[in-house]
Amino acid sequence: MKLNPEKTLSEIAALIGARYHGEHDFIVSGINEIHKVEKGDITFVDHPKYYKKALESAASTVIINKEVACPEGKALVFSESPFCDYVKLVKHFRPFCKSDLPISEKALVGEGTIIQPGVFIGNNVIIGKNCIIHSNVSIYDHSIIGDNVIIHANTVIGGDAYYFKKQKAGHYDKLESCGRVVIHDDVEIGCLCTIDKGVSGDTVIGQGTKFDNHVQIGHDTVIGRNCLIGNGSMLAGVSVVEDDVIIWAGVSVQKDLVIGRGAIILALSGVSKNVPADKTYFGIPADEHIQKWRELAALRKLPEILKNSKS
């Protein structure tokens, strides 16, 4: 999430009551968790395993729970609970804003767009021209939808990311979401789909992509142009699906994976590793389909092999 206007290091530290190392007027231009950081962003780290990754990341400012040397060109904010202080910043700069109307007065809806009964459109939503939003669709705050988009009944756009941190006391604290969903032109989303907003960046659906019903897209996932996503498929957070990919029904995709351009994932597969471009994958765990079918053929012969080995 970008800050508009930008803030200084001293202003950020004052909001959470923390000490800092760096010039007081050092600029903080965005808030991002570690997977999405860019230059100018502030992020957090609270585990020794990830200190090096955070300090060497693109982030310009790091909230950290250890006294360490400040990398050149960066700033540090010292905190006993970086996670909690990061959440405080998110809530400060993007607080939940109640809406009392089915279509917020702060939403922008383009010319020729049809809104069916029962639709909710939140604050600061932008919807382009000539869209059709069918009944009982919910579009959360800050979502961006392009032109000629069709969203079918009971779909939810922009729900919070499923992102929790287990605390020593045994409970889970939520990493509050401040990202968006961005849907480009000519996309069609089926009934009862859910597309979660990014934790701090954008979940993106590329131009011309089509979803069947009951599709779940996790936070910060980026789907390219002209993809087909089949009924009941589930893509975990921070996945990347490149252009022209076909994912058939009932496919599960693990987090942080890349499915290469033009790849095809056959129905009911479970993807647990990156998929190269222009390959067809099948099975659980998914592998190249010819190899997987050979394995299945071999398994069918196993009872006969075992029987003959005993005789």
Query: For 108-131, what is each residue's pLDDT tens digit?
Result: 999 999 999 999 999 999 999 999
Instruction: Find the CATH number of the domain harbouring 131.
Output: 2.160.10.10
- CB-based contact 51:45 (threshold 8 Å): yes
Same domain? 280 vs 148: yes
Same domain? 263 vs 155: yes
Same domain? 80 vs 130: no
Confirm whether 101 is domain-assigned: no
Structure confidence at residue 235 (pLDDT)? 98
Same domain? 78 vs 181: no
Confirm whether 102 is domain-assigned: no
Instruction: Find the CATH number of the domain harbouring 68.
Output: 3.40.1390.10
Structure confidence at residue 311 (pLDDT)? 64
Query: For 181-218, what is each residue's pLDDT tens digit?
Result: 999 999 999 999 999 999 999 999 999 999 999 999 99
Q: Which sequence positions are flagged as catalytic?
A: 219
* Listed residues 93, 116, 131: the one ending a domain: 93
Same domain? 186 vs 282: yes
Confirm whether 30 is domain-assigned: yes
pLDDT at 224 over 80: yes
Confirm whether 307 is domain-assigned: no
Query: For 48-63, what is each residue's pLDDT tens digit?
Result: 999 999 999 999 999 9
Number of domains in the chain: 2
286/276 Cα distance (integer angstroms): 12
Q: For residue 270, list its beta bridge partners.
A: 252
Same domain? 20 vs 145: no
Same domain? 89 vs 113: no
* Other beta carbons within 10 Å of 81: 16
The β-bridge relationship of strands 287-288 and 280-282 is antiparallel
pLDDT at 304 over 90: no
Residue range of the domain that includes 44? 2-93
Confirm whether 48 is domain-assigned: yes
Nearest in space to 93 (alpha carbons), one of 40, 167, 29, 22:
29
Same domain? 85 vs 113: no
Confirm whether 304 is domain-assigned: no
Same domain? 145 vs 241: yes
Confirm whether 250 is domain-assigned: yes
Structure confidence at residue 6 (pLDDT)? 98
- CB-based contact 189:211 (threshold 8 Å): yes
Please give the torsion angle defined by the CA atoms of residues 71, 76, 79 and 85, in that order, rounded to the nearest 10 degrees.
-120
pLDDT band at 309 (very low <50, low <70, confident <90, very high): confident
25 SS3 class? coil
Same domain? 65 vs 174: no
Distance of CA 240 to the CA centre of its chain: 10
Please give the torsion angle defined by the CA atoms of residues 292, 293, 298 and 301, in that order, rounded to the nearest 10 degrees.
140
pLDDT band at 297 (very low <50, low <70, confident <90, very high): confident
* Listed residues 33, 65, 93: the one ending a domain: 93
151/226 Cα distance (integer angstroms): 16
Measured CA distances, 38 to 2, 113, 166, 300 (Å) = 10, 35, 26, 51
Same domain? 138 vs 74: no
Same domain? 118 vs 66: no
Confirm whether 311 is domain-assigned: no
pLDDT band at 307 (very low <50, low <70, confident <90, very high): confident
pLDDT at 248 over 90: yes
